Structure 1
């Protein structure tokens, strides 16, 4: 039978009011968020939950304040994963995260306490704001070969992810991004600017490395109780340390390669825990037509979380995936 794998996304998946239907109707999901938020208030003197669901913040607004987006991305996905495990009894055999999503995967797998990871993410945001230049990430709908063939891209941006043949992502400084946008517009190449203010997975972050690692010196890392698949190394890992979580934000993303490694070892039942549904969108492009793996998403910017949860239950029952 297919093994269950939870998927977690990173920066760029966030938006205001994400998970609102679940937050307003599901006690377990809401209480998990509020419990985490209580700790966040101690750390940063503000509520991430109130910021996400502030009535003056609309879904269409850009959610790019790293002080709030870092913990928010973690909290929403962790709360959903815990709800699936404890209330719906859907327990993963493995976890896989992309970029910041690696921190959620680590907490769900038992590698690190969620409160310790929240502290690290809040400190990471503070350090990046203080130490790093502004910039961002842009996803380009085109052949990844364009990166090497275009001096403007090759010389001014880092190739941070190749999702599939017609889809790749680069990060760059603010000035370089403006020039890249103008170039892509002139060539009529489609692209999407991610809602981030800093050039993640880029050497421009290197000034923050030592400060960030210092925040993790006192954190205890355990062996995973649930199989942990790396979105950085594209393989299963049996232990990680503080430097791994620096690599998760600094090194290129190999999420697609990790999926292919998973597929090579048998069918999977993928559950996308991201707020955007982006992991499943990627799987749709990556999985072979011959794959018998199944995939399910719960959250997306258009809501319908309760409907999607019912469909998940039906899929699980159809495949006899009982814990």
Structure 2
């Protein structure tokens, strides 16, 4: 069975999507439609902007979504997913690819999400850090004893967990986790504490946009970040999408459940190869490739 997976923030690169735009008429049309919906030429920033341009949340998120979804559309008849999943932002790409959301609605929601998250980041300085070489349970135990806001944010693969919280909380957590045996505790260059309680203002703002959008039953199960479990019910998909902003991304669990559900072949659709690496760590027995 084939599982298609879609990357999240961090996978962007200058020039992303240009080849699709130049060589495929449908892709070009979709990119131009996106420029129109967003009200600015995001394609200029994607194809010829700077790293700095692409790092702005309001650009990064729609750019990765567009690259992923348009690439999936250009696969044509060969794109027949038995299941899909996306990492954080990638969940929106996975839902559009599986037919649960239209391309236009997906893009509008991603842009609303990016703007809401950027606003929440500016309201309260916050950050994230990657913790390597420590069991998830040990990380959870250490974090539970810290007074500042600091929580598990991304369960990426066994021995790789990203934490999220206040600047002070992350500093304290990194020290304590290294003392507890973590091989490394690396602060990340991100705009704020994604997938933590500090994203609550963004969650409230995005909930209004999600609730005003129509969702369809997807053509295949979508394994969602919040539970790591498959969903085909539009009401449940919507609920999980709203909860996603303040809840951890259970990527390890999602991949394990996809394999348990019969996935033998994972295809990463979008910029970068991060998810293939994670899939291989979580389930070395499966094949993982780029679209």
Is contact 2:126-2:191 (8 Å) kept? yes
Unaligned 5+ segments in structure 2 are none
Distance change >3 Å, CA 79–CA 232, structure 1 → 2: same
135, 158, 180: which is aligned to 2:126? 135
Q: Which residue of 1 aligns with 2:12?
A: 14
Partner SS, residue 106 of structure 2: helix
Q: CA deviation at 1:169?
A: 0.7
- Which range is displaced more, 156-165 or 276-285? 156-165
Distance change >3 Å, CA 110–CA 189, structure 1 → 2: same
- Which range is displaced more, 30-39 or 103-112? 30-39
Is contact 2:12-2:271 (8 Å) kept? yes
Is contact 1:147-1:154 (8 Å) kept? no
Cα distance in 1, alignment partners of residues 281 and 114 from structure 2 = 32
Is contact 2:154-2:161 (8 Å) kept? yes
- Residue by residue over 1:173-221, the C-alpha shift from the partner in whole angstroms, topping out at 9 and shown as x without a partner, is 2444456667789999435554430211100111233222112232111
Distance change >3 Å, CA 112–CA 143, structure 1 → 2: same
Aligned residue pair count = 284
- The answer on 1:110 being equivalent to 2:104 is no
Superposition map of 1:50-89 within 5 A: 50-55=44-49, 57-58=50-51, 61=52, 63-86=54-77, 89=78
Q: CA deviation at 1:9?
A: 1.8
Partner SS, residue 48 of structure 2: coil
Is contact 1:159-1:252 (8 Å) kept? yes
Partner SS, residue 270 of structure 1: strand
Distance change >3 Å, CA 245–CA 136, structure 1 → 2: same
Q: CA deviation at 1:269?
A: 1.8
Cα distance in 2, alignment partners of residues 194 and 148 from structure 1 = 19
109, 112, 115: which is aligned to 1:123? 112
Q: CA deviation at 1:95?
A: 0.9
Cα distance in 2, alignment partners of residues 38 and 243 from structure 1 = 29
Distance change >3 Å, CA 196–CA 27, structure 1 → 2: farther
Is contact 1:63-1:195 (8 Å) kept? no
Q: Which residue of 2 aligns with 1:246?
A: 242
Is contact 2:17-2:46 (8 Å) kept? no
Distance change >3 Å, CA 182–CA 17, structure 1 → 2: farther
Q: Which residue of 1 aligns with 2:222?
A: 228
Is contact 2:131-2:182 (8 Å) kept? no
Partner SS, residue 75 of structure 2: helix
Distance change >3 Å, CA 114–CA 201, structure 1 → 2: same
Unaligned 5+ segments in structure 1 are 299-323
- Residue by residue over 1:70-119, the C-alpha shift from the partner in whole angstroms, topping out at 9 and shown as x without a partner, is 21121111011111135xx2322221112111111111111111211221
Output the aligned Cα RMSD.
2.8
- The answer on 1:212 being equivalent to 2:206 is yes
- Which range is displaced more, 127-136 or 251-260? 127-136
Partner SS, residue 250 of structure 1: coil
- The answer on 1:173 being equivalent to 2:166 is yes
- The answer on 1:147 being equivalent to 2:136 is no
- Which range is displaced more, 143-152 or 250-259? 143-152
- Which range is displaced more, 185-194 or 218-227? 185-194
